[in-house]
């Protein structure tokens, strides 16, 4: 059988999808980097407050990702059949689901920020700063949900460049308003952490307006009216949620597990919380290429299943897993060897925060290739293939039965430094890969959901 790596169509399609997604994720991660860089000028309490307050958005955004990843399974396979009518119906369900979720999280952040911040940490100044941020940024949550739905659907029908362009404009908008409002330049008020929240809100408004403009101007499969978005035939909703609920539940419980890691880190202290925020920001910059590969895998695997070519589906999956592992080895080595270089971006760091961040980055580099492999395994292969139930059990099981217990064991009982706690948590990734590889080889994950 011809190797997929020699298949020009495979390489061309992979690059068309993966590069714009990688660039979009680079833009988004750069935005988080800029936020953290600017806030770091205000001190470790502000860094900790921003990092912990954004755990709520992290939880919310991964639920959004679950909803829309589930939708993309259908949209990718329907696009393989060029079935535009059903694509619009799936998009409508995704928009309604994300909007309903956005309302819940907006209410939580707007009216109960003290409870949210108090769940993570006990330092009064960190809680106050985090509450100030949450009340403002919560107004962007529903808008973000709708943007997610259109962006991921656009990728699934071969229009990956549009979300990338919009993200770049949003990045510029956010950066400019952060600079003006955090520090009070050019006559604007100096708002500190509140300024970062206003910058995010303004950028999200610009983002949704641009997305809607481009969709209804250029992307016909998604340019639906209200009737097309909401006219679901009998049994359609049931079939949709039967496939997507494991993905949504998976992302919700996995992200809640990540939030629990943040709780464990915060129990170590304010310095540990700030260090985790800085190290995670740097790691996310390195992760953008892998996200591009895993999302390209989702789309291309789904398209091949929709076309009825299951043999090529398996070959695609193997090739993507190999590429993500090699990429992870290269990037992980760079991450491990260059912590002092990357940390030069952050000025005015306390010595303790700097040293903790440095050690964290090195530990992240050691386990990086396993994380990149698992990202493509879960998001690209299993979900793209429609095997959503198995991927849910795999991620939930490893997070809650391995990762979370080890995090609290290290932080509360053994009282280890935060980088050793992160080392314990990384055992989760090893277990996940060990269970996932036999599933891929079995080919039981190849399911036509349409």
Distance between first and last Cα of the chain: 28
State pLDDT tens for residues 19-42.
877 777 777 767 667 777 788 788
| Four-point Cα dihedral 158, 162, 165, 169, nearest 10 | -150
- As to burial, measured by CB atoms within 10 angstroms (0-12 exposed, 13-18 middle, 19+ buried), residue 124 is exposed
Q: What is the pTM of this model?
A: 0.72
Cα separation, 437 vs 373, in Å, equals 10
CB 60 within 8 A of CB 141: yes
CA Rg value for the chain: 21
For the chain, residues with pLDDT lower than 50 are: 1-6
Cα separation, 101 vs 154, in Å, equals 21
- As to burial, measured by CB atoms within 10 angstroms (0-12 exposed, 13-18 middle, 19+ buried), residue 46 is buried
288 Cβ contact partners less than 8 Å away, ≥ 6 residues apart: 22, 23, 25, 26, 29
CB 408 within 8 A of CB 417: no
Provide the 8-state DSSP code for 348: S
pLDDT of res. 336: 95
**Cα–Cα–Cα angle for 324, 327, 328, nearest 5°?**
85
pLDDT of res. 109: 94
Q: Identify the helix (H) or strand (E) that includes residue 364.
A: helix 351-366
pLDDT of res. 449: 66
Cα separation, 60 vs 137, in Å, equals 13
Comparing C-alpha atoms, which of 18, 9, 79 is closest to residue 303?
A: 79
State pLDDT tens for residues 366-391.
999 999 999 999 888 988 888 878 88
* SS3 call for 109: helix
pLDDT of res. 1: 43
- Phi and psi at 394, nearest 5°, equal -65, -50
DSSP 212-264: HHHHHHH-GGG---HHHHH-PPTTHHHHHHHHHHHHHHHHHHHHHHHHHHHHH
Cα separation, 60 vs 62, in Å, equals 6
Cα separation, 176 vs 191, in Å, equals 14
């Amino acid at each position: 059988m011809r190797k997929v790596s020699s298949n020009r169509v495979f390489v061309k399609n992979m690059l068309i999808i993966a590069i714009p997604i990688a660039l979009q994720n680079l833009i988004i991660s750069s935005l988080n980097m800029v936020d953290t860089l600017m806030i770091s000028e205000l001190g470790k309490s502000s860094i900790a407050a921003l990092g912990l307050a954004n755990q709520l958005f992290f939880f919310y955004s991964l639920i959004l990702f679950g909803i829309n990843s589930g939708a993309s399974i259908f949209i990718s396979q329907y696009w393989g059949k060029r079935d535009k009518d059903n694509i619009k119906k799936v998009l409508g369900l995704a928009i309604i689901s994300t909007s309903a979720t956005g309302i819940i999280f907006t209410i939580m952040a707007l009216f109960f920020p003290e409870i949210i911040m108090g769940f993570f940490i006990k330092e009064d100044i960190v809680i106050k700063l985090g509450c100030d941020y949450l009340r403002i940024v919560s107004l962007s949550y529903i808008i973000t949900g709708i943007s997610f739905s259109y962006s991921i659907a656009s990728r699934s029908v071969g229009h990956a460049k549009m979300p990338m362009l919009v993200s770049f404009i949003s990045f510029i908008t956010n950066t400019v308003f952060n600079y003006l409002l955090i520090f009070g330049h050019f006559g604007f008020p100096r708002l500190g952490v509140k300024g970062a929240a206003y910058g995010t809100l303004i950028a999200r408004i610009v983002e949704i307006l641009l997305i809607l403009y481009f969709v209804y101007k250029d992307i016909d499969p998604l340019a639906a009216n209200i009737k097309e978005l909401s006219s679901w035939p009998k049994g359609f909703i049931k079939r949709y949620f039967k496939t997507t609920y494991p993905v949504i539940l998976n992302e919700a419980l996995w992200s809640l597990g990540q939030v629990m890691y943040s709780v464990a880190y915060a129990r170590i202290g304010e310095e540990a919380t700030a260090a985790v925020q800085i190290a995670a920001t740097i790691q996310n910059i390195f992760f953008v290429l892998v996200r591009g590969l895993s999302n390209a895998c989702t789309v291309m695997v789904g398209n091949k299943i929709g076309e009825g070519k299951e043999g090529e589906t398996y070959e695609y999956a193997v090739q993507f897993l190999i590429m993500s592992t090699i990429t992870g080895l290269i990037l992980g080595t760079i991450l491990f060897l260059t912590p002092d270089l990357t940390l030069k971006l952050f000025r005015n760091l306390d010595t303790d925060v700097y040293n903790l961040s440095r050690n964290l980055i090195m530990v992240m580099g050691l386990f990086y290739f396993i994380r990149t492999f698992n990202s493509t395994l879960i998001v690209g292969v299993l979900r793209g293939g429609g095997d959503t139930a198995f991927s849910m059990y795999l991620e939930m099981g490893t997070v809650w039965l391995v990762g979370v217990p080890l995090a609290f064991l290290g932080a509360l009982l053994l009282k280890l430094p935060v980088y050793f706690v992160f080392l314990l948590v990384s055992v989760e990734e090893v277990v996940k890969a060990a269970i996932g590889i036999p599933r891929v080889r079995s080919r039981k994950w190849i399911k036509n959901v349409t």
